[in-house]
């Protein structure tokens, strides 16, 4: 019984601060701590989502930066312009994002975004 309870506690604590393989090697997240995933985040008109790597998007600056590993997405390039289609005034899991090549204007990858993982500076 104790083993079952300890296992459940470890699972809950492990889920509180996910370790994302997608975050590895993203310079903007270095020295930051991951928090629990969030379904939605409020966005500012002055801030934009950007490509961190082919299957990962980041949003924010300063103390908190959000990572969205965009499940099922791949093919984003750092030079792409992202076009998001949020419903309402927040970015949420399930919103559609597509890319467009910054030079040619040709459409690129597109998919639905996933949860946002906040990375905060200590």
Domains of the chain by residue range: 18-121
pLDDT for res 65: 94
The structure's pTM equals 0.76
What share of the chain has pLDDT > 70, as a percent?
A: 82
More reliable by pLDDT, 21 or 14: 21
DSSP state of 11: H
- Res 4 pLDDT > 50: no
Structure-token match 């927040």, residue found: 90
DSSP reduced 3-state for 56: strand
The stretch 91-110 carries a mean pLDDT of 90
- Res 19 pLDDT > 60: no
Report yes or no: 41 and 66 within 8 Å, Cβ to Cβ.
Answer: yes
pLDDT for res 73: 80
- Using only the alpha carbons of the chain, give its radius of gyration: 16
| Confidence grade of residue 108 (pLDDT, cut at 50, 70, 90) | confident
The stretch 28-35 carries a mean pLDDT of 93
- Res 6 pLDDT > 90: no
- Res 109 pLDDT > 80: yes
- CA dist 78 and 83 (Å) reads 14
Structure-token match 């903007």, residue found: 28
């Amino acid at each position: 019984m104790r083993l079952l309870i300890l296992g459940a506690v470890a699972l809950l604590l492990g889920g509180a601060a996910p370790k994302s393989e997608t975050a590895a090697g993203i310079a903007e997240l270095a020295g930051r701590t991951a928090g629990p995933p969030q379904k939605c985040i409020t966005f500012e008109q002055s801030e934009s989502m950007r490509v961190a790597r082919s299957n990962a998007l980041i949003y924010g600056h300063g103390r908190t930066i959000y990572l969205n590993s965009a499940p099922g997405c791949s093919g984003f390039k750092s030079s792409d312009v992202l076009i998001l289609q949020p419903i309402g005034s927040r970015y949420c899991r399930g919103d559609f994002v597509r890319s467009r090549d910054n030079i040619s204007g040709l459409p690129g990858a597109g998919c639905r975004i996933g949860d946002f993982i906040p990375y905060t500076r200590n």
